[in-house]
Chain A
């Protein structure tokens, strides 16, 4: 019983409980400070992640692991969650009567993601995934009385439950094939015997279950509607934390536990990657709602990331981690700007963005920086992450995937620039300047600074990703 390794999660649980209790003691009018409390409070678990990370180990009969990989992802989750919380204060204040519950639920979702990153056994991973998912179902439908939000919550719940069932079925099959649920145990059993149809079927179902979380085609059907209908801060959270959590789960379960089945999955992931990026990017071209557009964009980005799994080596894993880090910072920055504009414009339609560069020059510039980073333009971090990703996939011998990926990213430039185009090239739609942002401004500043910092000095971040990737490749 090594509770020490669990300190970050314990701190996060306490923080969520404190927010709930404080919510009860605060009058309805002044609940905004709860959001700041939650955001700033996340510093504590973040510090603990770093401290605990100094002494990696496993706990609770191998169900829970602390290693560089878990630390890497947990810091991404906490960082993103803090920015999302900061930028949601104003939004929740306007749109919902229950800000306290919103912040606390968001913290619980983060907690689920944290456990997922540390999960070392199939049932733990499943429970962690459910903690995250159920919190997200609630969050997606959080705006009571808003039909779109309610529809998003319902749709997400139903399809998510289906995906969970598929995942659980896969877990059951793998257990049937190997007789154990710990990842190390599964790996040992599979390595000592030839692959069975049972185990392969289990793996395919598990990939399908996680594929739902990372919105890989053909498990992406929920994305556009949920992204559009959910409260924008929740969309931001879904597109970054939920997706990164899906990837860490795949890395742990498939990349480590089911690694002896390695002959099967390059093909599987290569097909998923090509489908995902192509469908995501093609569908994004015609979108007119920016949240929907960003939903398809996130599918496209997941497609690039999947190429790293198809070519699964230590260096592509390192590139995948760096790619996810870059994606997290950039995408959360993009969404903070969208939250701000949504609050001020009362609309998420692309047409409302016409001429925004004149009405809100700083925020429009920040959004442009983030979008260009998603395109993969230097000197932003997106350039490095994409080049490094494709470089490592190329090195693993999958040249075809690299060509498809690069041509896809040229195609994707079209719809990202469509937003820039609306903001800078179209005539001004409204006359007055937008009121300056409050907490969003600070969050946006951090995100944009991160986009530049990691773009100009990528070395340390790539190094951290490389160290984290090593955890999956015991020598």
Chain B
């Protein structure tokens, strides 16, 4: 079933490739059907996943290349760590397809590439063989390059190539890390589950961790590797921004949890002070930069840098709870930022501008959009009752015992987040009505479907977190238990996050 989820979109891309370019309705129908079925399958997968047991489930394994010099397996499986990510990928792809329903420029190539992207990203999340992981990691690049490069804004070409070169440079270092692990394991293997149980000398772990860290930090992105992100986001079309922020950034965070925490815990322990410093810089710097943005979309883009900093903080703190927080943050940020980008895109489609100061009081004309924007904004700043709160609060609770100063600094960023979100809301939706927006119409029809779906998920996770945290904890708990680095203080009193959050 997992393979079906990964490769259905690829099949869809081939089918679309064979459809004549002028049959637009048919093409987007195919896109919706193939991504939709993948979503349904991953929902089924999610709810048939047994979170009482640890380890991989729904494993599929086959030999691909088996030679004395190199052995590669097709090996996919899910645990609590990557299952939510697979679900997020299929979910946001469907949302992206719906959000680009009225795409008029070269729709055939557009939907084809969206589906290819989905295959690449869900492949990264599901792969348990390092070689396969790296392969999918690279597969995702070209569709994204073209999606930004063809359908993007005025500076799309620069943004697209910058995205590719940054990622390639990062993945070059990551590949060296993969080779290092491969040749250190005995017998040589790319199997991540085996690699996680190997013993490595500390000096080796320290430099290999750094190689992987750079690869993942580019993707996350963390300061100082974040400069590609605002360019890519501002230039990318709406649906592509949704996928970029919603799932592509998550590859970096997921990689940190799976590889750094899962395979090289001692390295994380060693580098934790550095990671924490970078995390705090990302959080504060991202938030401050968001504050001064004049463009709505770059504001959301920089807020991603800030929010992904929490993930890095959770990793650096390295307690069961903080790691849970990081993993929850990956999922919730995917939905919240996805929603924010959709809303910005929706507004832009109607107003043809994203400059904050151009607006004013338009809630009068767009009550629904304004309401959703307000709710998404509040979720983003971590209001209780929304999923953002669960993620951030868990991260802070988990990180405080190990990194109190850094946690306090990061938590302070919530104030800045509240500042820029609420200030933006006031300038765009409230205040005196700017007469030139008389003609604006509210979101309607099919546009509402992705907005409402994502909002529903945000609220659902906000009020009933165990639907997510149970699964995630089953994936995170073994990471720290096998690393023997779990902190004894808060972690033992709140045996696990899911217990902490369970409803009476």
Residues on A close to B: CB < 8 A? 315, 318-319, 372, 376-379, 383, 387-388, 390-392, 394-395, 399, 402-403, 406-407, 409-411, 413-414, 417, 421, 424-425, 458-459, 462-463, 466
Contact = CB atoms under 8 A, between A and B. Distances in A.
Contacts of A395: 179, 183
Interface string B129-164: 001001110110110011001100000110011001
A424 B146 contact: yes
Contacts of A383: 135, 138
A315 B138 contact: no
Contacts of A376: 138
A406 B150 contact: no
Given A425-B157, A459-B67, 14 more contacts: A372-B142, A377-B139, A377-B142, A378-B139, A387-B131, A388-B69, A403-B176, A406-B175, A406-B176, A410-B171, A410-B172, A414-B165, A421-B160, A425-B160
A410 B162 CA distance: 11
Nearest to A405: B172
25 contacts: A372-B142, A376-B138, A377-B139, A388-B70, A391-B70, A391-B182, A394-B176, A394-B179, A395-B179, A399-B176, A403-B173, A406-B172, A406-B176, A407-B169, A407-B172, A410-B171, A421-B149, A421-B157, A425-B156, A459-B65, A462-B65, A462-B67, A462-B70, A463-B67, A466-B69
B493 interface: no
A378 B171 CA distance: 13
A323 B171 CA distance: 20
Contacts, number: 88
B168 interface: yes
The 8 A-B residue pairs with the shortest CB-CB distance, nearest first, are A406-B172, A410-B168, A378-B135, A394-B179, A410-B169, A425-B149, A459-B65, A410-B172
B119 to A, nearest CB: 11
Contacts of B69: 315, 318-319, 388, 392, 462, 466
A160 B12 CA distance: 52
Contact of A421 (B65, B66, B161): B161
B157 to A, nearest CB: 6
A377 B141 contact: yes
Interface residues of B, number: 35
Contacts of A424: 146, 149-150
Nearest to A358: B106
A424 B141 CA distance: 16
Contacts of A394: 176, 179-180, 183
Nearest to B156: A425
B138 A378 contact: yes
A191 B172 CA distance: 39
Nearest to A378: B135
B16 to A, nearest CB: 14
Contacts of A458: 65
Contacts of B172: 403, 406-407, 409-410
A378 B74 CA distance: 14
A417 B149 CA distance: 11
A417 B180 CA distance: 29
Contacts of B164: 413, 417
A410 B174 CA distance: 12
Contacts of A417: 145, 161, 164
Contacts of A390: 175, 179
A383 B183 CA distance: 19
A406 B146 contact: no
Contacts of B160: 421, 425
Contacts of A462: 65, 67, 69-70
Contact of A414 (B131, B161, B171): B161
B135 A379 contact: yes
B179 A377 contact: no
B236 to A, nearest CB: 14
B109 to A, nearest CB: 8
A462 B66 CA distance: 10
